[in-house]
Amino acid sequence: MTADSLERVTPDSLLTELFTEQARANPYPIFRALSEFGPISPLTENPAGVTQFVAVATGYDVVDTVLRDAGFYKKGIPNWQEHTLLSTFETSMMFTNPPTHGRLRNLFSRTFTPRRLSAIDPTIERLTDELLEKMAAKEAAGEQVDFVEDFASPLPAQVMAAFIGIPVEHLEWYQARVRVIDAFLDLDGKTAQALAEADQAAADLRGFYADQIASKRAKPQDDLLSALIKALDTGQYDMTDEELISNMVLLFNASFVTTIYLLGSGLPLLLSRPDVIAALPGNSELALDCVHEILRCESPVQFLTRAAPEDTELAGVPIPKDGVVLLLVGAANRDPARFTDPDLFDPYREKVTSLGFGAGAHYCLGAAVARAEGRIAIPRVFERFPKLALAGAPVGTGSLFLRGMNSVPVTLG
């Protein structure tokens, strides 16, 4: 970008441009343009849709620092008690601050044991192979195979259902409500109608989990929800059933949707590197590097927000007390100051790190499950279908917050 164009373009105008159809399809040129103003830029003109933010951060180091700083906090939502969805958010560990966050997370951290996490591997392997066989049968019947519809979406849904203990017959009903909530989370998705629909979806899910808790309390199963209930009933953890429900709603949403987008966005990236595909079978270490590099190149969660605990500065930019900073994770993960050729998908790069799972106290609790799904599923896809290829242009979600693919048509060869 030239000096002359910088005089005409501002961080405010660039953020406004993010809402265009073109930028929704590919926000990275906007992110690069923003980064030319520095790792963080003040906002002064209140661009449409982002009036609550005082600054926007694109630099990896700034975003990482803020996420790891326990002082920066998640700002509460006004009048949240009036809405089922917002009440669910505000009573979950994903949206709370210390000390409440630590109190809520403690139970989950003690229950997400290495044994429980490693025990999910055979389930991932079985479900992966079953879905790949269904894909083969679908193409053999002359039907179009869609990688998202036929694999990337059902795999994490079924894995999380098995892990948490959700009956598989409820999955379709459950997923429909997850998508309604996710639509509200987008930057410009917070309309009155979207909130009303999300409130109803949250109410449905809360009722579902209340029934599941009662059932598993009476007859425990070998699943995460039963383990959480058992631990909670010892009296050693300070959490109510209502708070447990809030956290279960958010846990499934976060783990299910982000893994869909990890796999769906990852396939076109992998297909751009035949050398990587050829090396994947039997190479779980390379597969895990691919997971991290996909998260870096196409972060499912594109932004986060934090508020300053006091008047401070970030990379020389003044941030007032309680001022909210928009943290563009998708930009930070392509920061040229940290990554060589940041727009290049390269699982062999020396430091395949990203902020795709966040950082600090709010680091994604379901990250280990998502990593396991990618590590196991990605090599098996290409072992089963080494000639897999795109059959048409992938179709993105169009969301500014949760970036991913709605459709990736493929041929299996």
Q: How far is it, in rounded angstroms, from Cα 40 to Cα 60?
A: 10
Q: Which domains does the chain have, with CATH numbers?
A: 1-68+302-355 (3.30.43.20), 69-301+356-411 (1.10.630.10)
290 neighbors 280 (Cβ within 8 angstroms)? yes
- Of 303, 302, 265, nearest to 404 by C-alpha is 265
Cis upstream peptide for 281 (omega within 30°): no
- Mean pLDDT over the full length of the chain: 91
Structural Rg of the chain based on CA atoms: 21
Residues 6+ apart with CB under 8 A from 395: 405, 406, 407, 408
pLDDT band, very low/low/confident/very high, at 352 (cuts 50, 70, 90):
low
Average pLDDT over residues 282-304: 94
Q: What is the dihedral of CA 382, 386, 387, 389, to 10 degrees?
A: 10
Within 202-355, strands assigned E span 303-307, 312-314, 317-319, 324-328
Residues of the chain with pLDDT > 90: what percent?
69
Average pLDDT over residues 12-36: 92
pTM of the complete model: 0.91
| Three-state helix/strand/coil letters over 171-189 | HHHHHHHHHHHHHHHCCCC
Average pLDDT over residues 249-264: 86
Strand pairing class (53-57; 324-328): parallel
Strand pairing class (312-314; 317-319): antiparallel
pLDDT band, very low/low/confident/very high, at 48 (cuts 50, 70, 90):
low
Q: How far is it, in rounded angstroms, from Cα 401 to Cα 27?
A: 11
**158 C-beta neighbours (distance < 10 Å), count:** 21
**179 C-beta neighbours (distance < 10 Å), count:** 12
- On the 0-12 / 13-18 / 19+ scale of CB atoms within 10 A, 406 is middle
For residue 77, pLDDT beyond 80: no
Average pLDDT over residues 160-187: 87
For residue 2, pLDDT beyond 80: no
pLDDT band, very low/low/confident/very high, at 51 (cuts 50, 70, 90):
low
Average pLDDT over residues 205-214: 96
Note the pLDDT of residue 407: 97
Please tell me what DSSP assigns to residue 326.
E
Note the pLDDT of residue 398: 87
